[in-house]
């Protein structure tokens, strides 16, 4: 499996709008076993995205999906920047789609 | 929902053993919607745990479960320390148990 944990910062006041775009654009991605979008509890503009993929090529391919391309185009003006980004190899647990 | 993203560092060479203990002890926790254990891709001793809970009390209650208590007791000697820890409010996505 292939995993990513990353932080994104929305333009001030735009976090909910950005989250709605992300949820909409990432609902159906082949090879995606989990994709959780979360608000940072301390930083009012920050979003955490935790992704688990079947493998790295599945993640790479997802970036070309029309729904993901549309979300990137629509969301970009609302993104102020990116924070921490950790690459992982998920090994198991609870909540992974099959 | 209530979420945690945290890094744990195993004693050198003990990461796989620690992961096995964690997987075993956290398989069945009431109110847990997702619990993904991952190896850090860059740091050979580091583990990332990403948790999504129905609410914060469910997470707190899990720490008293016999299976979790046993995993803590068994895993503690293999833990070298803890790294980053982020508290979140998950809002949705793919891969959350119902």
pLDDT digits (tens, 9 = 90+) for A35-92: 999 999 999 999 999 999 999 999 999 999 999 999 999 999 999 999 999 999 999 9
pLDDT for residue A97: 66
pLDDT for residue B19: 97
Is A40 in the B-facing interface, judged by CB distances under 8 Å? Answer: yes
pLDDT digits (tens, 9 = 90+) for B10-60: 999 999 999 999 999 998 899 999 999 999 999 999 999 999 999 999 999
- Give the residue from A72, A50, A60, A13 showing the smallest Cα distance to B91: A50
- Give the residue from B5, B8, B42, B84 showing the smallest Cα distance to A87: B42
What's the CA gap between A50 and A34, in Å, rounded? 8
pLDDT for residue B18: 98
Q: Residue B78's pLDDT band (boundaries 50, 70, 90)?
A: very high
**Angle, helix B15-25 to helix B66-75, in steps of 10 degrees:** 170
CB contact under 8 A, A52 and B38: yes
What's the CA gap between A16 and A49, in Å, rounded? 14
pLDDT for residue B25: 92
pLDDT for residue A73: 96
B94 or A45, higher pLDDT? A45
Chain A: closest CA distance from residue B52 (Å): 9
Residues 6+ apart with CB under 8 A from A80: A9, A10, A11, A12, A45
Q: What is the pTM of this model?
A: 0.93
pLDDT for residue B21: 97
Is A72 in the B-facing interface, judged by CB distances under 8 Å? Answer: no
CB contact under 8 A, B94 and A97: yes
Which value does ipTM take for this structure?
0.91
Give the phi and the psi of residue B42 in degrees, each rounded to 5. Answer: -105, -30
What integer is the mean pLDDT of B63-86? Answer: 96
What is the residue whose two structure tokens read 């609902």?
A27
Q: Give all domains of chain A, ordered by start, each with its CATH number.
A: 2-88 (3.30.70.100)
């Amino acid at each position: 499996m292939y995993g990513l944990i990353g932080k994104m910062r929305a333009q001030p006041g735009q976090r909910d709008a950005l989250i709605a775009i992300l949820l909409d654009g990432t609902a159906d991605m082949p090879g995606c076993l989990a994709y959780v979008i979360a608000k940072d509890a301390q930083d009012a503009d920050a979003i955490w995205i935790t992704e688990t993929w079947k493998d790295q090529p599945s993640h790479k391919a997802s970036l070309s999906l029309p729904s993901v391309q549309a979300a990137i185009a629509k969301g970009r003006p609302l993104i102020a920047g990116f924070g921490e980004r950790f690459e992982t190899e998920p090994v198991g647990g609870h909540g992974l789609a099959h």
